Chain A
Amino acid sequence: MSEVIKSLKSRKHRLASSFIQLNVLTGKGHSNGEAFSFESKLHATGNYPLRPIKTEILQVNIGKMCNQTCRHCHVDAGPDRKEIMTREVMQQCIDAVKNSDFNMVDLTGGAPEMNPDFRWFVEELDKAEVNIIVRCNLTIILANPRYYDLPGFYKAHNIVIISSLPHYSARRTDAQRGEGVFAKSIQALKMLNEVGYGMEGSGLELHLVYNPSGAYLPPSQESLKKDFKRRLKTDFDIEFNDLYTITNMPISRFLEYLIQSGNYDAYIDKLLEAFNPLAVDGLMCRNTVSVGWDGYLYDCDFNQMLDLKIGDKIPLHISEFDEEKMLSRAIITNQHCFGCTAGAGSSCGGEIV
């Protein structure tokens, strides 16, 4: 069962280094001895180098601070992480959105709400008339009285809420996200339902995210959505719109779990064997640009955590955002990308295929 854990960084764990994580990942082919690189798969399917299709979503990671310390967290977030985005960098993000084709800003973290400028940022983005997603971990709403009014704040700005709830059972949710997280998440979902989120006809979208509580791939999104709908309605009278299934990426704390539990080799084999070329077309790095807390740009949130910055030699910063340059870039890939192409594919919006 779950135990209290701290971030890799605060434990000074070797996997806190993105360099070591990449070394672990690139050193691994298939257990049957076959050398297996993501790059070779792109070559074989005529997709190398991987290119963006459009700039549609700006995903902004506004800080690694979080009230939870989930066992699978690819950000290595937690209460002990202090890296957060300043208002100056937020303003640079707003300027980039105004001068480009982005129609959606996806705010993530950590718990984005813990950034003291979160509400200012949302208000300014709303004024810029762009659609806003907040990846809310649910428990933050109950973490402190100053967050109790978040559901009303989200509603006032017509924010789309995307929240992790790895399972409709407390056993699996708490095993991954910490003791007591399930009960608090249910309470927070009720508060969101109360202001209209997830309710038919309200126009307020509330989507849930499932990811496996262990070293296996997610089930079909459609069939699991039916189970979640039925169980959450029957057991707790909770409504939501959609369910996204996401594959756990073998980096950061999930990589630590895989190695510690002896599941690393089998999990990587599973990802390699499940490579689906059809998922390549819909990879999120092809319509998304990811911004780190310090303003540097990445192809996705996973590349951000592995410190794989966009830019050949000089890393690109949001303050010098150039849409044309962005669209002509080659996307940086590595072995972790097999996590997004396994089975039905995986993205921040769930299944791809």
Chain B
Amino acid sequence: MGKPYYIEEDLLKFGDITEFQPELGKKFFSYYNDVFKEGALTEREKALIALAVSHTVQCPYCIDAYTTASLEKGADEEQMMEAIHVAAAIRAGASLVHGVQMMNKVKEISM
């Protein structure tokens, strides 16, 4: 078995990215931490948005992190799955809406 590209333990080392570029890394984490604080949106709403986006960007680290975060912010399984459906619907819609472009082109080049 070869070494996998994604290693679960690497998530715990996320903070280490500051090793090669401290200034930008620190700025990123400071911004990141502020983003997830309670604001106009609750921490739970933000965790659910992050969970949906994690599926869209297909990041296994993010999926693990925001599944746990969603549970710890009080979301239930139905809410979490609905959030993922929202992400999936947007992805599907984003493909399908281009069907109009296909139709336009068909009409443009057809008699």
Q: Which residues of A contact B42 (CB under 8 A)?
A: 223
Whether the pair B44, A171 counts as a contact (CB closer than 8 A) is no
Q: Which residues of A contact B76 (CB under 8 A)?
A: 167-169, 172
Interface positions, chain A 158-179, Cβ under 8 Å from B, are 167-169, 171-172
Whether the pair A32, B68 counts as a contact (CB closer than 8 A) is no
Q: Which residues of A contact B12 (CB under 8 A)?
A: 31-32, 269
A345 at the interface (CB under 8 A from B): no
Whether the pair B77, A218 counts as a contact (CB closer than 8 A) is no
Tally B residues with Cβ within 8 Å of A.
12
Q: Which residues of B contact A311 (CB under 8 A)?
A: none
Whether the pair A219, B68 counts as a contact (CB closer than 8 A) is no
Whether the pair B71, A216 counts as a contact (CB closer than 8 A) is yes
B73 at the interface (CB under 8 A from A): yes
Task: Please name the residue on chain B nearest to A245 by beta carbon.
Answer: B74
Whether the pair B77, A219 counts as a contact (CB closer than 8 A) is no
B82 at the interface (CB under 8 A from A): no
Q: 30 A-B residue contacts at CB 8 Å?
A: A32-B12, A167-B76, A168-B76, A169-B76, A169-B77, A171-B77, A172-B76, A172-B77, A212-B71, A212-B72, A214-B71, A216-B68, A216-B71, A216-B72, A217-B72, A218-B72, A219-B44, A219-B71, A219-B72, A219-B73, A219-B74, A220-B43, A220-B73, A220-B74, A223-B42, A223-B73, A223-B74, A224-B74, A227-B74, A269-B12
| B-binding residues in A (CB < 8 A) | 31-32, 167-169, 171-172, 212, 214, 216-220, 223-224, 227, 269
Supply 7 further A-B pairs (C-beta < 8 A) apart from A220-B74, A269-B12. Answer: A169-B76, A169-B78, A212-B72, A216-B68, A218-B72, A220-B43, A227-B74
| A-binding residues in B (CB < 8 A) | 12, 42-44, 68, 71-74, 76-78
